[in-house]
Chains A and B, each alone.
Chain A
């Protein structure tokens, strides 16, 4: 009893007036809500009422459907991009210059002596008109140990099905049970190229060079890396061998064997300010030996360039002394250079460009930036800390990049599988570079790892690109330099400056001029912004609700209020029902049904009129024929006339 009173009182407190049955509540809500449809349902005639009811439902379902779409759109985290192009004062890119050849041949000759003699002898044998037949004695000076670690073999393919493998310095040996991992077969598997046409002429090459790679020296587990071209085979073989030899040399010695800044960088001018080799930061790059980076921004502030055009850029004169190249290691001659961001590692093999000797190369730069939103808009990383690959390039103090990640990933795989690190990539703590003595099977291991598509895919999947991607778009043009007329004095002055001698020590074959400058439009920035923000979502939700039903958040609150009210009513109903049940079970004391809650409440609140029985009857009969003394129920004049008429006439 107390509980019911409490609920009723609470209901009173909560609501002033809506009513005490569901119907009252609903009518009150429809009449008073700020949403547009429901009011119409109440106010119109019976036919229109139905139309309005239907329309309101339709609009409400439309609103919810569209809300669903909007929320879905929001959760897909789309981005819009804005593009801006123009010129502004920008940091001049870091410029890395290297020699295409990693070491001075004069300095490394003592290390590569054996190897060179071997390859010369081998070439001698190969290039004979009929190779393999004459069994000359191997000259005693050759280091056959080096040869036997990774030998080059000649494959005689006169008989297609039964190729004969000829070791160049040894007698013939038939193709045993070695696994052929020739490139062609593996490529064929990939590409399923049709077999060579049947009308192969007799001029077709019958001999092929291959590199024999064994997992251990003397073991049977060997593969032949087959090359369609001897030139390729020789270079590949030489790279493998020299890598093994150079891996044993300590870093200090390798730096000493490379090109020194004062020898390589002859002249430097940045804008109007002179610079010299001391402005360059030395870095040791495994592919290219000593590289020099201008404006790396590691110790000093990065330089700005505020003017377009060659006059305000970097001008360099380099000498690459082609005569001192290692003949078999790199066949292309020139400088290798790359433009990159400050504090990033230059990956010259990927993005480096060549500059040709005896020319002036002009490079106009456009900075192409892409600024992306991070998670959840796109899957990129800001500084690489969330990438599950240990960045080995962090020892250079450089920032994360996808190339660094991929190389680190490969090196980590290599260390896991082969037990030693590859010479081309940095080493983690406590691991050594691979060489033939300590790791006899490394070349086999490396080449199988390198051609493994699965391993590459693992690395691709685990590395993420950076959110801010900067590319330097270059417009390259070249001209002959120095011109014939100016050749003499230019060489003379440059030689004098470098070597302090009046003899000309430079020539066309080693000299390169570089101009690097910003173009007229030096940046193109594509920046992303979220296409759908929470503000966007709210305004669209509001727009939809307002468009169909004229509603707002307040309407939602109203609706919630009504639900709470109806919950209260339910609670009261349940209580009274329980009570009724109890009483009925106890005893039916009164013949009449007890007054309902609403009747009781009405008795208290007195909403103006007691329920009239006459209300249900046609008023023609109920009301006195002459309204001698009103008051008539004036209120009914406006709200109900049509409604009252309706049922009346229908009843007729």
Chain B
């Protein structure tokens, strides 16, 4: 009586458990049951087929189908993060890009005389010493006179050296002494120096100021490059000490540069240009910079409707050592982009009409996880020193500048200043040149890590340019053109302009088609799932339901069967041990039940004949009067079963 409620509770728990237990007492029964009732196709064939060969073939086919499914689905998953490219062309009113125009020469040479006279004098002297070049007798004499009186700072800082040969004997330009040189030699021009002309090798030496034995020697195959590079180093040094306002005044004003301006059939003037001071190019002027809040747009293509400007390039006022070409430099860019005019500018010839036709292309890449690009640059650990939107170039330059400030203690002149830093000059940072060259070499060899940190921008605008040149002004129009332009330049100057001082530039859209290249995800989750479904359905007619089935049968049911078997084994073993100890013979009841040939009888939960029909177990008598048929075999004949629930339902009505 005490056991009854416990049994009852146990029975109830068994019933209420969500897992009612497997449909079969043994694993093979379970598999059989699964194969017969599953929704997938192959499995049933295995059970139903007769003959070993056929069954084997079906097992093989089913397994290979499973393999195929796994393979294909893995492929689908791997290719999930791929992108497809779409190109759309839209014909529309296009925003006109910002056009930044610079004179190739950064500052008026006449205005720079105060700052550069010493340097120029020494450069000329060097030219005379090395190459015997002199501009004219009188000038040379003057410079020679000046030479003796001036204590040369420039050559003390960076000596210009003339190499005799490869024996590392050099002539110091200043002292004229020959000496051996220590340190590593860097060839700026190429790694292979023409050995036949070793006499012509010229270079300069940069030493670590703190440790004079640490020297790097830079050599150039051509004196032109050596002199220019040497000059540029000193020039940057001098310019770094001049405040920005002064520099802006030293450079060209908008009135100086612009002679005429015409945009979209309308006249424009300097008010449409924004000044932009570039460290290496002086004052540049940006047309349509968008700073006033509006961006001009073009609604008609063609040269008449673009920007047409005539620039005045005062060739006589050029710095002879800093720049050796004449003309203007322009760059077409977006309003939010920083014009890297020294990197990607287009040079414009004087005495010619340059027409630049543009095609506009906008591109957008997908960011993570499709590709490694950045939308805004906010996720890049490099501070953007430029006041413009992110680009790879901005990142690289900022990164280098930061490294420069960190290791050399001052900022490089060509790039903007980080907060709290100042430009390098010899007075404060005697060592910067050596440091800069070392660092730059590291940067180029990708040892600074900048190239790894900086990522592409995900979207960018590009203007493809087609440049062509015509002679301008033409022979017959030259006369009146120059006269009228001189009048334009300033009525009081009677001097007629020279055509080599003029640059005519036209920037226009060739067509108003905007090409938009965008990456789209090639797969969405929906297509991925439907592809899965297609694969599963094609090979095995399987669905998520089957997957759940498989989980149910192969994991829950099988495990529970195995567990139960183990439990019964353990119980049996325990009983046996107990019996062995007590010496009691085994109960007859076990044998009786085995006689039914229905293994289900062992388990109370199973739908055996007895439990189903609520047949009372034959009690007392060991043998049933009429042995029931082996009902388990009935299970194969499923075809008739369907009617039963219907009739039962009907009966309840």
CB distance B294 to A354 under 8 Å? no
CB distance A469 to B513 under 8 Å? yes
On chain B, the residues within 8 Å of A40 by CB distance are: 545, 549
Q: Which of B82-90, B183-191, B202-210, B366-374 contacts A (4 or more CB under 8 A)?
A: B82-90
On chain B, the residues within 8 Å of A552 by CB distance are: 537
How far apart are the CA atoms of A323 and B475 in the complex, in Å? 7
CB distance A332 to B266 under 8 Å? no
How far apart are the CA atoms of A332 and B487 in the complex, in Å? 20
With A192-B294, A333-B475 as given contacts, are A184 and B355 in contact (CB-CB < 8 Å)?
no
**Closest B residue by C-beta to A203:** B490
Instruction: Give the distance to chain A from B512, nearest Cβ to Cβ, in Å.
Output: 7
CB distance A323 to B651 under 8 Å? no
With A21-B653, A323-B476, A636-B644 as given contacts, are A123 and B483 in contact (CB-CB < 8 Å)?
yes
How far apart are the CA atoms of A644 and B20 in the complex, in Å? 14
Question: Of residues 434 to 448 in B, which have CB atoms within 8 Å of A's CB atoms?
Answer: none
With A231-B485, A542-B537, A611-B653 as given contacts, are A349 and B302 in contact (CB-CB < 8 Å)?
yes
On chain B, the residues within 8 Å of A323 by CB distance are: 475-476
Contact string, A35-49, partner B, CB cutoff 8 A, digits 1/0? 011011011010110
CB distance A231 to B481 under 8 Å? yes
Contact string, A474-498, partner B, CB cutoff 8 A, digits 1/0? 1010100000000000000000000
Question: Of residues 602 to 652 in A, which have CB atoms within 8 Å of B's CB atoms?
Answer: 602, 607-613, 615-616, 619-620, 623, 625-628, 630, 632-642, 644-646, 649
With A549-B545, A611-B651, A636-B612 as given contacts, are A27 and B645 in contact (CB-CB < 8 Å)?
yes
Q: Which of B192-200, B465-473, B562-570 contacts A (4 or more CB under 8 A)?
A: B465-473
With A550-B541, A642-B20 as given contacts, are A355 and B91 in contact (CB-CB < 8 Å)?
no
Chain B: interface secondary structure?
mixed
CB distance B93 to A457 under 8 Å? yes
Contact of B615 among A195, A627, A642 (CB under 8 A): A627
**Closest B residue by C-beta to A637:** B612
Is A598 located at the chain interface by the 8 A CB criterion?
yes
Contact of B648 among A188, A232, A406, A640 (CB under 8 A): A640
CB distance B299 to A357 under 8 Å? no
On chain B, the residues within 8 Å of A638 by CB distance are: 607, 634-635, 638, 641
CB distance A331 to B477 under 8 Å? yes
Specify which of B481, B548, B647 lies most central, judged by the most chain A CB atoms within 10 Å of its CB: B647
CB distance A229 to B261 under 8 Å? yes
Instruction: Give the distance to chain B from A621, nearest Cβ to Cβ, in Å.
Output: 9
With A186-B266, A634-B634, A639-B644 as given contacts, are A327 and B304 in contact (CB-CB < 8 Å)?
no
With A229-B260, A350-B301 as given contacts, are A465 and B513 in contact (CB-CB < 8 Å)?
yes
CB distance B470 to A70 under 8 Å? no
On chain A, the residues within 8 Å of B511 by CB distance are: 350-351, 402-403
Q: Which of A73-81, A161-169, A245-253, A571-579 contacts B (4 or more CB under 8 A)?
A: A73-81
Contact string, A349-362, partner B, CB cutoff 8 A, digits 1/0? 11101111110010
How far apart are the CA atoms of A40 and B268 in the complex, in Å? 80
Specify which of A457, A544, A620 lies most central, judged by the most chain B CB atoms within 10 Å of its CB: A544
On chain A, the residues within 8 Å of B299 by CB distance are: 453, 456-457, 460
**Closest A residue by C-beta to B513:** A465
Is A297 located at the chain interface by the 8 A CB criterion?
no
With A24-B649, A608-B643 as given contacts, are A228 and B269 in contact (CB-CB < 8 Å)?
yes
**Closest A residue by C-beta to B84:** A80
How far apart are the CA atoms of A613 and B650 in the complex, in Å? 10
Is A440 located at the chain interface by the 8 A CB criterion?
no
On chain B, the residues within 8 Å of A528 by CB distance are: 86-87
On chain A, the residues within 8 Å of B594 by CB distance are: none
On chain B, the residues within 8 Å of A634 by CB distance are: 631, 634
On chain A, the residues within 8 Å of B263 by CB distance are: 187
CB distance A127 to B469 under 8 Å? no
Is A315 located at the chain interface by the 8 A CB criterion?
no
On chain A, the residues within 8 Å of B515 by CB distance are: 370
Q: Which of B173-181, B405-413, B524-532 contacts A (4 or more CB under 8 A)?
A: B524-532
CB distance A616 to B484 under 8 Å? no
CB distance A465 to B89 under 8 Å? yes
On chain B, the residues within 8 Å of A205 by CB distance are: 488, 490-491
Instruction: Give the distance to chain A from B591, nearest Cβ to Cβ, in Å.
Output: 22
Contact of A192 among B292, B355, B469 (CB under 8 A): B292
Question: Of residues 352 to 371 in B, which have CB atoms within 8 Å of A's CB atoms?
Answer: 352-353, 355, 357, 359
**Closest A residue by C-beta to B301:** A350
CB distance A460 to B92 under 8 Å? yes
CB distance B296 to A350 under 8 Å? no
How far apart are the CA atoms of A332 and B215 in the complex, in Å? 55
How far apart are the CA atoms of A69 and B352 in the complex, in Å? 59
How far apart are the CA atoms of A81 and B304 in the complex, in Å? 34
How far apart are the CA atoms of A628 and B511 in the complex, in Å? 99
Instruction: Give the distance to chain B from A335, nearest Cβ to Cβ, in Å.
Output: 8
Question: Of residues 83 to 116 in A, which have CB atoms within 8 Å of B's CB atoms?
Answer: 83, 100-101, 105
On chain A, the residues within 8 Å of B296 by CB distance are: 190-191
With A66-B526, A81-B85 as given contacts, are A353 and B357 in contact (CB-CB < 8 Å)?
yes
CB distance A465 to B91 under 8 Å? yes
CB distance B474 to A543 under 8 Å? no
Contact string, A111-140, partner B, CB cutoff 8 A, digits 1/0? 000000000100100110100000000000
On chain A, the residues within 8 Å of B294 by CB distance are: 190-192
CB distance B644 to A450 under 8 Å? no
Contact of B477 among A39, A79, A327, A641 (CB under 8 A): A327
Is B271 located at the chain interface by the 8 A CB criterion?
yes
Instruction: Give the distance to chain B from A62, nearest Cβ to Cβ, in Å.
Output: 9
With A194-B292, A546-B536 as given contacts, are A330 and B477 in contact (CB-CB < 8 Å)?
yes
How far apart are the CA atoms of A486 and B466 in the complex, in Å? 30
CB distance B646 to A27 under 8 Å? yes
Is B375 located at the chain interface by the 8 A CB criterion?
no
Contact string, A335-372, partner B, CB cutoff 8 A, digits 1/0? 00000000000010111011111100100000000101
CB distance B644 to A633 under 8 Å? yes
Is A227 located at the chain interface by the 8 A CB criterion?
yes
On chain B, the residues within 8 Å of A636 by CB distance are: 612, 644, 648
Is B542 located at the chain interface by the 8 A CB criterion?
yes
CB distance A543 to B537 under 8 Å? yes
How far apart are the CA atoms of A473 and B524 in the complex, in Å? 36
CB distance B470 to A100 under 8 Å? yes
How far apart are the CA atoms of A625 and B615 in the complex, in Å? 7
How far apart are the CA atoms of A620 and B520 in the complex, in Å? 68
With A550-B543, A615-B651, A636-B644 as given contacts, are A460 and B530 in contact (CB-CB < 8 Å)?
no
Is A540 located at the chain interface by the 8 A CB criterion?
yes
Closest 4 CB pairs of A and B: A547-B533, A543-B530, A229-B260, A550-B543
**6 contacting pairs across A/B (C-beta < 8 A):** A24-B649, A187-B267, A330-B474, A332-B471, A546-B543, A649-B12
Residues of B within 8 A of A (CB): 12, 15-16, 18, 20, 37, 39, 84-93, 255, 259-263, 265-272, 292-294, 296, 299-304, 310, 352-353, 355, 357, 359, 464, 466-477, 479-481, 483-485, 487-488, 490-492, 494, 504, 510-513, 515, 520, 524, 526-527, 529-534, 536-537, 541-546, 548-549, 607, 609, 611-616, 626, 628, 631, 634-635, 638, 640-653
